[in-house]
Amino acid sequence: MKVHGQEYRSIWLDPKEEGLVHLINQNRLPWSFEIADLRSPGDALEAIRSMMVRGAPLIGATGALGMYLAATTAKNQKDPEAFLNDWAYRLSTARPTAINLARSVNHVFNKIRLGQSGEVSLLAKKEAELIIEEEVDACRKIGEYGLPLIRECAEKKDGKTVNILTHCNAGWLACIDYGTALAPVYLAHDAGLPVHVWVDETRPRNQGARLTAWELGQHGIPHTVITDNAGGTLMQKGQVDMVLVGSDRTTLDGYVVNKIGTYLKALAAYDNHVPFYVAIPLSSFDLNTTTNPLLLPIEEPDPEEVRMIEGWHDGEIKQVQLFPENSPALNPAFDITPPEFVTALITEKGICMPVIEETIRLFKE
Ligand code: MRU
């Protein structure tokens, strides 16, 4: 996607220098557009942990590239296999909720374990690149499958603006290119359909207000940032035509894990007969059919994220405290929306109901 008229992805390999990866530092957006470099698996780990990169497909890609960076130095280690094993563990567990991370890291690790010693880094690079291209392709197709839903809505409204509510950032920043939830929105806008996006601010880290608003603005898509609590009243007033969100992990029987607050939007949508769509690549499905949704791993980052808020003041990014020093805070980062509140899943293989018979069919196709 374009930033200031130039084509970017959220992460990419340096075309000339081996062992060098570039990424957009999302912790500086929207105020400063900065590119950061990764030269070691430790850099990749830090980028994931500090949320310089975030969003399920992107942290999967960063983990895979982290394994590539580990592979470039493995042969200089006393015990290369133990070194790779250690990095596979550290990278794959850096953030537990989005299933793409462990899946991508383990995929690259398993491939290089089977490879011959001399070609380990080449193999790791090839596998990481494959993962990246597959994610980009999946997002583009999610956009193509999602577009008719917006078109139908626009037709029903006689060409009046289609109002779409989204939560967190499930755009191209989170996904290398195109996005999951935002991919159909980009295609609809490019096709000349009138779209407007209600952007949930997404406390505590404000991925909606900071990243989604920035992305949409770069592409010239009309949008309005709202507080996380505003969606319900907008739905009651008929000002939301559909909700479109992404997911960090969805079970085959349709339990959708996504950024905290998604569940409340699904409840409000259900009560107001507003369609609630989840855009998700197959790489974000949890294939464990026996998963008890209550046992799905939900990250609980530092409660300081709740106590403090970050913003732009006097030309600098600053943090201010929001409530009394002694008041405790709790910070569950994701929630689980049960399938009965999900209208449909939009995947790169098509649209399906959130039921096991249909999700399994997607994998068989
Ligand atoms: O904590 P984050 O910012 O990594 O959370 C990201 C989300 O919750 C996105 O909605 C998710 O990854 C969906 S797809 C890009």
Does the Cβ of 221 fall within 6 Å of ligand 1? no
List Cβ neighbours of 59 (8 Å cut-off, separation of 6 or more). 48, 53, 94, 95, 98, 100, 101
Rounded average pLDDT over 176-185: 98
Q: Which atom of ligand 1 is nearest to the CA of 58?
A: 15
Cα of 155 vs centre of ligand 1, distance in Å, is 31
Does the Cβ of 62 fall within 6 Å of ligand 1? no
One-letter amino acid at 20 equals L
Cα of 307 vs centre of ligand 1, distance in Å, is 21
| Residue 118 pLDDT | 62
Please report the sign of the dihedral spanned by the C-alpha atoms of residue 179, residue 183, residue 189, residue 190. Answer: positive
Rounded average pLDDT over 201-225: 98
Coil vs helix vs strand at 324? coil
List Cβ neighbours of 76 (8 Å cut-off, separation of 6 or more). none
One-letter amino acid at 133 equals E
| Annotated catalytic residue, options 43, 177, 241, 248 | 248
Helices (H), the chain: 41-49, 56-74, 80-92, 99-114, 120-156, 172-175, 183-190, 207, 213-218, 231-236, 262-271, 304-307, 356-364
The rounded percent of the chain whose pLDDT value lies above 70 is 98
Cα of 173 vs centre of ligand 1, distance in Å, is 10
Rounded average pLDDT over 156-182: 97
Instruction: Name which residue sits closest to atom 8 of ligand 1, judged by CA.
Output: 259
Residue 302 known to be catalytic: no
Residue 295 has pLDDT above 60, yes or no: yes
The residue whose CB lies within 8 Å of the most ligand 1 atoms, and thus the one to mutate among 1, 58, 168, 335, is 168
DSSP secondary structure string for all residues of 15-60: SSSTT-EEEE-TTSTTT---EEEE-SHHHHHHHHHTTSS-SHHHHH
Answer whether 48's CB lies under 8 Å from 100's CB: no
Answer whether 64's CB lies under 8 Å from 132's CB: yes
Rounded average pLDDT over 67-72: 97
The Cα–Cα gap between 237 and 240 comes to 8
| Residue 114 pLDDT | 67
Phi-psi domain of 32 (left: phi exceeds 0; alpha: psi -120 through 50; beta: other): beta
Residue 161's nearest CA partner among 153, 173, 169 is 153
**For 14-33, what is each residue's pLDDT tens digit?**
999 999 999 999 999 999 99
**For 111-138, what is each residue's pLDDT tens digit?**
998 666 568 999 999 999 999 999 999 9
Rounded average pLDDT over 216-227: 97
Residue 50 has pLDDT above 80, yes or no: yes
Q: What is the dihedral of CA 53, 58, 63, 68, to 10 degrees?
A: -110
The residue whose CB lies within 8 Å of the most ligand 1 atoms, and thus the one to mutate among 259, 277, 306, is 259
Does the Cβ of 95 fall within 6 Å of ligand 1? no
The lowest-confidence range among 37-51, 265-279, 281-295 is 281-295
Instruction: Name which residue sits closest to atom 15 of ligand 1, judged by CA.
Output: 170
Does the Cβ of 56 fall within 6 Å of ligand 1? yes
Does the Cβ of 54 fall within 6 Å of ligand 1? yes
The two structure tokens encoding residue 360: 């399994």
Cα of 353 vs centre of ligand 1, distance in Å, is 21
Q: Which atom of ligand 1 is nearest to the CA of 167?
A: 10
